[in-house]
Amino acid sequence: MASVKPTEYNGHPAVALQSSDGARATILLHGGHLVSWVPAGGQEQLYVSPTSEYGEGQAVRGGVPVIFPQFSSRGTLPRHGLLRTRGWQLVEMPSHGKHAQAVLRFVADDRTRALWPHEFEAEITVSLIGQQLDIEFAVTNTGDAGFEFAVALHSYLRTNDVLKAQLEGLQGVKYEDNTTGQWQQQWGDVTQVVGEVDRLYHDAPSPLTLRELGRKVSIAQSGFTDVVVWNPGPVKAAQLDDLPDDDWQKMLCVEAARVIDPVTLSPGDEWAGMQTFIAG
């Protein structure tokens, strides 16, 4: 049977999911943050930095941080918004046959209102079975005024050697290169890391495929319109206190995002987006 059980991750409260076929995942209550995904019969698919910091006010380096309502430093809020550094509540552990699923919720409070004066409820739903993992983020406007937001699932995918990995499926897509501030168009089908990569692809297709020797992961999304591809490269990695200098080679971020055209949400309305991974 599928199971959802309270657990700890690096000494912090978490939820452990296991589907009936043995697929496993772990979600921190801090940040509603997925930190582990092991497909049935497979190996860990997510990267989490061994030097990451945990606890109130800290942002975990790796896994799948939830970015809302601001992406990066594109606004006046703290970097990447309000949710990844705060505690969430486990509200539901539904039974869906062989699937294992957990729902975590965050509700606007006085601390978020002091920074962003809006009423909202956010939910992250993680569901897994076999080789597939679904991550859905939903937000409801519970106030009496509309608001606008950006959102992303900042997924860190593990690589054996990012220099030999290939991300396929972005041929012809325009992207904002955040290392130069310029817009460009990708001509080839394969994206490879040879140094720092920080690209925001607009109107990105789905699915994409991350491929390396003996392994591939299909990456699909719905509701999100953008894809962020990020790796700090050796120079920037050396400047990050919560990332070992050489660990930039062990991961590639492929993020489902809605940044270029933010979401406008009227009172009482809900928006939801999903990112799906299938290991092969």
pLDDT tens string 256-277: 999 999 999 999 999 999 999 9
Catalytic (active site) residue 154? yes
Q: What is the pLDDT of residue 95?
A: 60
Rounded-to-integer distance, Cα 280 and Cα 270, Å = 33
| Separate counts of helices (H) and strands (E) for the chain | 2, 22
Q: For residue 165, name the pLDDT band (cuts at 50, 70, 90).
A: very high
Total domains in the chain come to 1
CB atoms within 10 A of CB 19: 24
Average pLDDT over residues 167-177: 97
Average pLDDT over residues 159-173: 96
Pairwise pLDDT comparison (183 vs 5), residue with the higher score: 183
Q: Decide if pLDDT at 4 tops 90.
A: no
Average pLDDT over residues 152-169: 97
Annotated catalytic residue: which of 154, 168, 196, 202?
154
Q: Report the percent of the chain where pLDDT is more than 90.
A: 86
Q: What is the pLDDT of residue 55?
A: 82
Give the alpha-carbon dihedral of 19, 122, 225, 66, to 10 degrees: -70
Average pLDDT over residues 156-162: 97
Rounded-to-integer distance, Cα 87 and Cα 108, Å = 11
Q: What is the pLDDT of residue 235?
A: 94
Rounded-to-integer distance, Cα 196 and Cα 231, Å = 6
Rounded-to-integer distance, Cα 58 and Cα 43, Å = 27
Average pLDDT over residues 183-212: 94
CA pseudo-torsion sign 167, 170, 227, 130: negative
Q: Decide if pLDDT at 94 tops 80.
A: no
DSSP state of 80: T
Average pLDDT over residues 249-258: 98
Q: What is the pLDDT of residue 54?
A: 87
pLDDT tens readout for residues 34-88? 999 999 999 999 999 999 988 888 889 999 999 999 999 888 898 889 999 999 9
Q: What is the CATH number of the domain that holds 143?
A: 2.70.98.10
pLDDT tens readout for residues 215-250? 999 999 999 999 999 999 999 999 999 999 999 999
Q: Decide if pLDDT at 2 tops 90.
A: no
Q: Are 195 and 233 in contact (CB under 8 A)?
A: yes
Catalytic (active site) residue 176? no
Average pLDDT over residues 144-173: 97
Paired residues of 123 in beta bridges: 105, 138
Average pLDDT over residues 115-136: 97
Q: What contacts 167, CB < 8 A, 6 or more positions away?
A: 190, 191, 192, 208, 209, 210, 211, 229, 252, 254
Total-model pTM: 0.95
Backbone angles phi, psi at 164, to 5 degrees: -105, 0
